[in-house]
Structure 1
Amino acid sequence: MEKVKSVILDGEEIHVFNSAIYLFETNTTVTLELNVIVSEIVTNKYKHVDNLIVEIELEDGRMINSIMSVTVMQGRLPQLHIFCDIDDLDEYKGLSILNENNSSFPDIEEGITLEEIRKVEMPLEDITLKLKLPIEQVEWLRKLKKKEVTDMMEEFLIYYRKNE
């Protein structure tokens, strides 16, 4: 199976942890399909996008440029499924051809963990805490900027997790 060197979505290169590119053949159509393991940040960015301008560079130097559809795949790791119909098989020589009878779909999640992905791109999320504190502490916290409270909580959580 061909290896993907880089993927650019709408002009932005994304970090690809693993991928599989292949042709999927049915009775009526052939589609170019690319499955990629990416960060949670990337899946969140593209989960509401239907079509993208995609540039795929293969390790053999070939470039594939197309407007393609994108969906977020459900699995244990964040994953995008990028695909488009194709007309000319000759343009894609060397790519594996799969169909619904193949049981040999590539497992691109093998050997990768969510922890490894998060070391490269850690998603940040907002959280709201409801606390009951003495009024003096509440007044002091309200005077702080959001970043100061965030930094303080992050340091506290790191310290707490190391010492539990």
Structure 2
Amino acid sequence: MVKVKEVKIDGESIYIFNSAIYIFESSTGFTLELDIIVSEIVERKYRGEENLILEIELHDGRVINTIMHQKSLQGGLPQLNLYCELNDMDDYQDFHYVNENDLVFPNVEEGITLEEIRKYEMPNEKVKLTLTLPIDQTEWLSKKNGRDLSGIFKEVIYDYWRKHHIGS
């Protein structure tokens, strides 16, 4: 079976945790399908894009340059599900074929956890808090800039989480 070695989107290499590349056969024709598990940051970056320019390097040395479209599949892990129409099947004879009537499709999520993905690349989220604190703490906080406050709260929360979350 054909395996993906590296993927570049718009010329930028992305880290892939797992992938499946295969030919999907339907009543309307054939498509090249690429399902990849990526970090949440990569998923968010490309989620809204309809067309992506891909360079897919396979383990056997072949390189596929194509424009792929996104389809929306629900899964538990961050992923991109991409496809492009195929007219010439000659270059894809050794690819895995999946028919629209098949009950089993490649499972790229198997054996990977969100925790593993976040160890590689942790996304940041904006959070707004409203707190009631003693005046001296309020004055001290108001003198700090946003970056310093983010670091302080991140450290405090991780310390608290480690003390109270371990073993639960």
Identify whether the pair has TM-score above 0.5, normalized to the shorter chain.
yes
Aligned to 2:139: 139
Deviations 1:102-125 (A, max 9, x none): 123111111100000001111111
Deviation at 1:71, TM superposition (A): 3.6
Percent identical residues: 52
Aligned to 1:63: 63
1:116 aligns with 2:116: yes
Instruction: Write the mapping of 1:29-68 to structure 2, written as runs, cut at 5 A.
Output: 29-68=29-68
The TM-score normalised by the length of structure 2 is: 0.93
Structure 2 gap segments, 5+ residues each: none
Aligned to 2:95: 95
Deviations 1:98-145 (A, max 9, x none): 111112311111110000000111111110111011222212111101
SS at match of 2:82: strand
Q: CA RMSD in A?
A: 1.1
SS at match of 1:101: coil
Matched letter for residue 156 of structure 2: F
Is contact 1:24-1:97 (8 Å) kept? Answer: yes
Number of corresponding residues: 164
Aligned to 2:156: 156
| Counterpart Cα distance in 2 of 1:73 and 1:153 | 35
Is contact 1:72-1:79 (8 Å) kept? Answer: no
Structure 1 gap segments, 5+ residues each: none
| Counterpart Cα distance in 2 of 1:142 and 1:74 | 42
